[in-house]
């Protein structure tokens, strides 16, 4: 083998490896995110708003916005919004209320 070939092989071995996920793997991830976020949600009839935001693996989270109704009687079925952060490493969803993302009635 030529020395240039050996050097090229050595450099290739040292280069960072990137692993592209298959469409099936992404679909399974999206399904897991949705299921975990819906389970963690406190909203009644919660549904995703749009698609999940996929953060870089260095961040380690996927974000999903949910909308539904507050289940408490005193809320009288008011609409609510939650932001769900799904931690890829632990496959755990964390939800927080995020009604401030929606415009107020006076701003419409």
Per-domain residue ranges of the chain:
44-108
**Geometric angle at alpha carbon 96, from 92 and 100, rounded to 5°:** 150
Q: What is the pLDDT of residues 29-43, one digit of tens each?
A: 999 999 999 999 999
**Does pTM top 0.85 for this prediction?**
no
Q: What is the pLDDT of residues 26-77, one digit of tens each?
A: 999 999 999 999 999 999 999 999 999 999 999 999 999 999 999 999 999 8
Q: Confirm if 82 and 94 have CB atoms less than 8 A apart.
A: no
How far, in Å, CA of 97 to CA of 30, rounded? 21
Q: Confirm if 49 and 65 have CB atoms less than 8 A apart.
A: yes
């Amino acid at each position: 083998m030529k020395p240039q070939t050996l050097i090229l092989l050595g450099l290739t071995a040292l280069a960072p490896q990137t692993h592209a996920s298959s469409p099936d793997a992404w679909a399974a991830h999206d399904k897991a995110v949705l299921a975990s976020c819906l389970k963690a949600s406190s909203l009644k009839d919660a549904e995703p708003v749009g698609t999940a935001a996929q953060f870089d693996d260095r961040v380690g989270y996927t974000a999903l916005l949910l909308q539904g109704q507050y289940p408490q009687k005193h809320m009288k079925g008011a609409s609510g919004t939650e932001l769900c952060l799904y931690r890829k490493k632990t496959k755990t969803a964390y939800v927080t209320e995020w009604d401030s993302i929606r415009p107020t009635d006076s701003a419409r």
